[in-house]
Structure 1
């Protein structure tokens, strides 16, 4: 009788939620439960979810359009019309033919922080002015080299007959673009008289690292962020995504560390998988985690949970794949996952029942052992 009483209390504790286990519950008594002012009985999680069966028509609707090699005529026109404009900090070399006394370069007071050497030439000051003998003080910031040359020629005509003036930049210091992230050598690159594109900047920075996410490169231009796929440029020749860079632009190459898919539930091993630069399909994710558990998984309960912030009414999208028919693996192989997706495989009903019975059996066995000890 004593044994049955102990078993009865054990079953009662188990079926009551096993709150005797440390940390298995969180009583709200004497605790302040805070709700958002917009929370209501209608704003449940279920009302914010869309459920989509993974079918052939769904896969076709989500398929990305084929990518082809594309020219970038707009970029070619920009490069053809590109002219470097002088800025504050640039060092200019000015030569006047047949007047060697004017051509002697004078050391500037500006020091190159990289070479730590004094530069020879004429430095454009912070206000955008330079001083040249006979020509005096001139505002050159924002002007092209031919425009600076014409200004000098016009002023030197007062003292020299038919002056022949040559102007070029010996050090480009005024304008920079920043390349950061998973590249060979992150840092700043100077804007020079040769136009620099996004692809050029990455090459000049040593190329991308092995762990670079080449599909989601961020380009910041005039405070506006754009996502560029270097993978499409290199693999498909989609030059429409290549752009001309200008002063202040930022090119950030992320790593694949943050591009992960989480596989949970009844699989060989629950894992966080990196997407890689070639993407990941649902079937690949299942294969990389050891596949579905043949004994415990519910073949009809393969779910992909995805956050869709653009859908303000129902921002949680759940996709369900029914694998009772083995041919459905073909659909899974065409369903492409996105970063932060959660793949969850549910347990079969019989598995859940067996687990409950197993817990009950273990509890009864432990009680029997305890009862035998005290007999």
Structure 2
């Protein structure tokens, strides 16, 4: 290589090094740590960058609170014998005469099978007329029918049975073994028993949510809380709709981790360290353990508590910083709660960026060196 060619090679190397070192030519998965900090409100950006500590962890530790309202909790058990509109009844009448009002010659008893309680709660019994059945027990209805017939046939004997109980049913849908409409009977008057009657939940119990809709009201609980708190095992009402579904919360993971994806929650609560573990941990060849960031739109009340300010209005963009190399870094990551729609981002280590720079420079110089070698021949 001539002296002139050597000068050209050095000049080109310097230009390439300056261009690559500026970052515009380096492939990467996201912003560097310094670029994230440059977006801080302190640097005229639009996000608050906050280092995680015990106080921040306590202020941001918010998990979904699920539970039944007082309307559901205070509802007593439905009596399994209470007759309701839509129920089907069976009536049998005995008469002490050979030729009774209802019985045929030679028959002492008359069976009235599948007497339907209409939408207004009434049934019709021959010679007794239209009788209100809804709200009464079979025993009380027996007394009413007996009194009605007693004036027309001597000492009638009446039996009333509640058959399928179709008027007091609930529908069970979603992640359940056997979806369908089930009658409220003595063994299934409470929520957990009805879920068992339908075959049990088919989604992961740790993240299964149970929604009960009653008229225009609805409430939701965690499936496991039904057994942890007996008060949540509420009494059912006719017409209730029960929906079993899996928790839909998720978070996104980007950067130098084992995988980059949108991840569903696998437990009711999820810490930052658990979220990192869920995606395979940090990439040991790329990750900077001092640059673990959680991006989140924080509600006004929580943002005020975190920043100690009362002048904030509306949701605030927050960037929480976790340094896993600090003495308490792993503890902070273990206690810091990940929430729905969070973005967990891990930056690349400075060594990786420098290595890429060197590789880009040396790789770019190779064609020129070959050209110079050919030119010198």
Normalising to structure 1: TM-score of the pair? 0.69
**Structure 2: unaligned runs, 5 residues or longer:** 28-40, 64-69, 97-101, 302-312
- Tell me the residue number matched to 1:355: 356
| Partners of 1:76 and 1:310 in 2: CA distance | 34
- Pair 1:244-2:244 in alignment: no
Distance 1:362 1:327, change over 3 A: same
| C-alpha distance after superposition, 1:152-209 (max 9, x if no partner) | 2332232244544332211222233222222211222223456622212211111111
Distance 1:373 1:162, change over 3 A: farther
* Deviation, structure 1 residue 92: 0.1
Alignment of 1:199-278 (within 5 A): 199-212=192-205, 214-234=207-227, 237-255=228-246, 258-277=248-267
- Residue 125 of structure 2, aligned match among 105, 121, 132: 132
Give 3-state SS (helix, strand or coil) of 2:162's partner. strand
Q: Kindly indicate whether the alpha-carbon contact (under 8 Å) linking 1:212 and 1:254 is maintained by their aligned counterparts in 2.
A: no
Distance 1:8 1:58, change over 3 A: closer
Q: Kindly indicate whether the alpha-carbon contact (under 8 Å) linking 1:220 and 1:250 is maintained by their aligned counterparts in 2.
A: yes
* Deviation, structure 1 residue 329: 0.9
- Pair 1:319-2:320 in alignment: yes
Alignment of 1:16-55 (within 5 A): 47=46, 49=47, 51-55=49-53
| Partners of 1:249 and 1:362 in 2: CA distance | 69
Distance 1:305 1:144, change over 3 A: farther
Give 3-state SS (helix, strand or coil) of 1:178's partner. strand
- Tell me the residue number matched to 1:104: 110
- Tell me the residue number matched to 1:303: 293
| Partners of 1:246 and 1:298 in 2: CA distance | 56
| Partners of 1:189 and 1:176 in 2: CA distance | 5
- Tell me the residue number matched to 1:86: 84
| Partners of 2:119 and 2:166 in 1: CA distance | 12
| Partners of 1:16 and 1:162 in 2: CA distance | 102
Distance 1:81 1:370, change over 3 A: farther
- Pair 1:180-2:170 in alignment: no
**Structure 1: unaligned runs, 5 residues or longer:** 22-41, 66-71, 107-119
Normalising to structure 2: TM-score of the pair? 0.68
Distance 1:248 1:229, change over 3 A: same
| Partners of 1:145 and 1:46 in 2: CA distance | 74
| Partners of 1:204 and 1:170 in 2: CA distance | 19
- Tell me the residue number matched to 2:92: 95
Distance 1:8 1:326, change over 3 A: closer
Bigger-Rg structure (1/2): 2
- Tell me the residue number matched to 1:59: 57
- Residue 293 of structure 1, aligned match among 280, 283, 306: 283
Name whichever of 337-346 and 7-16 sits farther off.
Answer: 7-16
Q: Kindly indicate whether the alpha-carbon contact (under 8 Å) linking 2:17 and 2:357 is maintained by their aligned counterparts in 1.
A: no
Distance 1:294 1:124, change over 3 A: same
